[in-house]
């Protein structure tokens, strides 16, 4: 290791990610079953389902590592449904990958497709055909937050593994273990607070811990400060300005958000949608639904390639009008 690397630091989510199935301390049942595949040097197509941050992708990497060894990445094609541009791109990448050579001792290669539940039903049908076409030389590991969004024919071709949110003790135990290795000082209740916020999402828990540690001793206060900072309040302020009838200031906020946070129109409208239903936005429920409906329309237009600012301005202007009607 060069001294430069010694000085460099990594995100703990990478640094403390298990590399082998043995290192995986959670999802014990899943891990046991996966270890059997390693022993048999064979496996069916797999579907890993469960909430974010429960170790689905990590388990896939560990499995591949244990099957193929240190250089497992050359036998694994990683795709992300939400990053690839449609099924055609996926198809050509899989086709290309299927041509490359296989390892000496394992007769197949792995295609890891993350966020498969983000694919449309049509794209999933095409995916199913792909899985059949290359089944002799490849195995697919599909990863999804919501297994119900995976079409039946795919589910029936896969061994399904359910990942569950990490239990409190496991998650806090892991955070403590990291704190010891990093020599981070912490309050017990701060780790509890992280658990409450992360809702069993290990990645989020570790990210919060690392950011809080960057501020100093990890306390309940610093944890909440980090969480507050991570989710820009500007979105809420923007909504509130608009609802107060102040279109021009709301527009100013929007511009600020887009520049300072590099948010796209889609990022903004999605966050708005989440925010509208929060307790902080004090308007009658039926108006929340009107706004949600409008947000949906705007989001669709943006997906179709409409202009971020014009569409969001139209949204804010409508909000300002609704706000004025509400105040009578």
- The first and second tokens of residue 286, run together, are 């039926």
Q: Name the residue among 159, 148, 192 with its Cα closest to residue 45.
A: 159
Answer for the pair 45, 139: CB distance below 8 angstroms, yes or no.
yes
For another protein, what does the binding mask look like between residues 286 and 315, x meaning CB under 8 A?
Answer: ---------------x--xxxxxxxx-xx-
Query: Which range, of 5-13, 38-46, 91-99, 123-131, touches another protein by CB under 8 A?
Result: 5-13
Three-state DSSP class for 71?
A: coil
For residue 1, state whether it binds another protein (rule: CB under 8 A). no
E strand or H helix at 9: none
> What minimum distance in Å lies between the beta carbon of 26 and another protein?
16
Please measure the distance between the N-terminal and C-terminal CA atoms of the chain and give it in whole angstroms.
68
For residue 233, state whether it binds another protein (rule: CB under 8 A). no
- Which of 125, 179, 245, 281 touches another protein (CB under 8 A)? 245
CA atoms within 13 A on the CB side of 90: 27
Q: Name the residue among 295, 262, 282 with its Cα closest to residue 323.
A: 282
The span from the CA of 64 to the CA of 289, in Å, is 46
Pick the closer one to another protein by CB: 7 or 136: 7
Pick the closer one to another protein by CB: 109 or 301: 301
For residue 115, state whether it binds another protein (rule: CB under 8 A). yes
> What minimum distance in Å lies between the beta carbon of 219 and another protein?
14
Give the chain's radius of gyration (CA, Å): 23
Binding site for another protein (CB under 8 A): 2-4, 7-11, 13-14, 17, 52, 57-58, 61, 78, 80, 82-83, 114-115, 203-204, 207-208, 210-211, 214-215, 226, 229-231, 245, 247-248, 251, 255, 258-264, 267, 301, 304-311, 313-314, 317-318, 320-321, 323-324
């Amino acid at each position: 290791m060069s001294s430069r690397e010694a000085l460099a630091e990594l995100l703990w989510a990478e640094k403390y990610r298990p590399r082998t199935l043995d290192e995986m301390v959670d999802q014990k049942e899943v891990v046991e079953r996966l270890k059997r595949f390693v022993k048999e040097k064979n496996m069916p197509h797999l579907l890993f389902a469960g909430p974010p941050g429960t170790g689905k992708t990590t388990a896939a990497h560990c499995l591949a590592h244990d099957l193929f060894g240190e250089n497992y990445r050359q036998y694994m094609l990683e795709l992300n449904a939400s990053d690839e541009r449609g099924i055609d791109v996926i198809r050509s990448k899989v086709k290309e990958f299927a041509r490359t050579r296989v390892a000496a001792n394992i007769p197949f290669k792995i295609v890891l497709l993350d966020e498969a539940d983000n694919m449309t039903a049509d794209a999933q049908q095409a995916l199913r055909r792909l899985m059949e076409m290359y089944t002799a030389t490849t195995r697919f590991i599909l990863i999804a937050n919501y297994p119900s969004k995976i079409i039946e024919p795919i589910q029936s071709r896969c061994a399904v593994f359910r990942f569950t949110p990490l239990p409190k003790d496991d998650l806090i135990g892991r955070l403590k273990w990291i704190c010891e290795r990093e020599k981070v000082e912490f309050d017990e209740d701060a780790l509890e607070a992280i658990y409450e916020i992360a809702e069993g999402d290990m990645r989020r828990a570790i990210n919060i811990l690392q950011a809080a540690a960057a501020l100093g001793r990890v306390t309940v206060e610093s944890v909440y400060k980090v969480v507050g900072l991570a989710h820009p309040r500007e979105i809420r302020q923007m909504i509130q300005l608009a609802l107060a009838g102040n279109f021009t200031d709301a527009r100013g906020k929007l511009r600020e958000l887009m520049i300072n946070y590099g948010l796209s129109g889609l990022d903004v409208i999605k966050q708005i949608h989440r925010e509208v239903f929060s307790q902080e936005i004090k308007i009658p429920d039926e108006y929340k639904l009107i706004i949600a409906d409008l947000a949906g329309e705007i989001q669709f237009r943006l997906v179709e390639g409409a202009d971020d600012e014009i569409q969001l301005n139209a949204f804010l202007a409508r909000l300002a009008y609704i706000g004025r009607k509400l105040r009578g």
